Every structure is written in C-alpha cells, then in structure tokens.
Amino acid sequence: MSLFDRAVASALPVVPRSVVRRISAPYIAGATLDDARRTVATLNAAGKTATVDVLGEEIHTEDEAHAIASMYGDVLAAIEGDRLDANISVKLTGLGLKFDLGLCRSLVEELVRAAGEQGARVRIDMEDATCVDDTLAIYRDLRAEGLDNVGIVLQAHLKRTLNDIDDLRELRPSVRLCKGIYVEPRAIAFHDFDVVRRSYVSCLEALLDCGSRVAIATHDEHLLVESLARVEALPADGYEFQMLLGVREGRATELVAAGHPVRVYVPFGRQWYEYSLRRLQENPRMAGVIARATVGRAVGRS
C-alpha cells in the first residue's frame, strides 16, 4: 500500500461532499432505483449481468430494517418488470443483524422466497468479522429450509475461511469469493498482500473441489490470471467473474469477449456519501486506485 493511497484515504473526511460525489460517481449507480435500473440495463446490453445493492447498512431501528427490505422488494419488482438480468445482494446489518437476529432472519427469508418466485437469486454479503458467525448461521438456516436461490460471500483475508469452506462443503454453496476490505486484527486476518493472494487461490481451489459455483470477485490481475487457469475446464455456467461498478471496466469487457460470464456489483441509494467514505477508508488501496482513475479520466478529457 503506497503513501499516496494512505494520503488519499485519510484526506477524504475533509474533502467537500461535492468532490466526494464526483470521485465516487462512476462507482455508484445513483441515489434512486431508476438510476440503478438504467445502469443495469446498460450493463446487460454490454453482455454483463448485475447484482444490485441497496446502500444503507447503518440502521438502528426495526422501521429502518423494514424500509430497506421494502426497497429490495422494489428492486426485485423492477428486475422482473424490466426483464433485467440481475440479482440482489443484501447486507444483513441493513436488515437488523446487530440488534434483532430474529427480525433479520425473517426479512432475508422473505426476500429469498420472493426472489425465488421470479427466478432471481439473493447473495448475502459478508461484513466485518463480528458478523461472520451470525451471517453463516442464517445462510445455513435458509438452505435447511430448502431455499437454494441464496448464496454467501467469503473473505480470503480471514484466517478462518478455509475452515468455513470445509464446514459448508455438504451444501455445495454458491460463494462470492473476495479478498475482504474490512480492517481486522492480525490475530484473525492476513495482512501481507502476497499472503492474502495465496489464501485467495487456496480458497478458490477448495470451493471448486467441493463443487461450489464460485463468483470470483477481484480486480487483481494476478488473481484473475490464476483464476482463469483454474476454471478453464468448467462450463460457462459453472462460475462467473465479479467486479465493482466503474472499476476495471475494460478488463471486464475483455473477459466477456473471451466468453466468460461477468457480473457487476451495482450499489445505489441515498447513503452514497457514507458508503463512499467508509469503503475508501476501509481500503486505502482502492482509494488510490479510484483517485488515479479519476485523474486519468480528467486527463483524457483535457
């Protein structure tokens, strides 16, 4: 991680909101569902699928949790009504995970069942380490209910992840595998860049070995190359690559042109500012990447 990356991340809180909005604009569909619909339609026209995320995990009341769940219901209705090739991703803290586990489980089950009725899928996002046990327990509960249109996210930088894969083996889970962006203690997470990379490859191999359909979520070219070598014998419906909206768009297009399925993560919502600050501060390297990309766009327009 460079000094530039750290400097960009640390400076963000004093940067005017208007500037943060311009910086983050390529990476967030917008504030409204209509913004997300247009973004997904554009991605679909380019041969890419999408997963839609409603921003707003920072909630503290039952009413707020129900409001987020209702918005996801609207997203599912839009996907069906517009015939979009998209699924939804949910953060369980946005559905009450931190203050009412029963409410959270009930709301996510309702969403999974509603999605299943229209042939859509739900991906349960993984958050910081304090959420992992409860998130995995809810995922297992849903699968025990016979709900197969739900997937989970695992983070390669957590030292526990290979054990979690082994524990989930009999479910042949649909997993989005990412490096992980949350800053965790060294006791539970790998911090060395190369060690995280090696862990990612080991987790990918373990998931493929147990028959999982893996969503390979990374922008790291080294990991893309390693992953391509490991999925080359799989059918196109046996895996997919996932990237964030606005990040390495050219590489995503190359993967599509080569016949690989690519899904783009499309966040939207009125909490764009909080999302932007939190994500960029949690991952200074991404802050640097985005800052460089923004400068590159400006230079390209000049």
CA distances from 86 to 18, 77, 219 (A): 30, 11, 20
CA distance 228 to 136: 28
The CB density around residue 301, as the number of other CB atoms within 10 Å, is 6
Residue 59 CA, distance from chain mean position: 19
* Residues 50, 266 contacting (CB under 8 angstroms): yes
Q: Which residues are catalytic?
A: 125, 176
Q: Can you tell me which residue has the tokens 């790291």? A: 220
E strand or H helix at 240: strand 239-244
* Residues 64, 24 contacting (CB under 8 angstroms): no
Phi, psi for 164 (deg, rounded to 5): -65, -40
CA distance 107 to 122: 12
Could you tell me whether strands 214-217 and 150-155 are parallel, antiparallel, or unpaired per DSSP bridges?
unpaired
Q: Which residues pair with 50 in a beta bridge?
A: 86, 264
> CA torsion 89→95→96→98, rounded to 10°?
10
Is the alpha carbon torsion for 48, 215, 221, 188 positive or negative?
A: positive
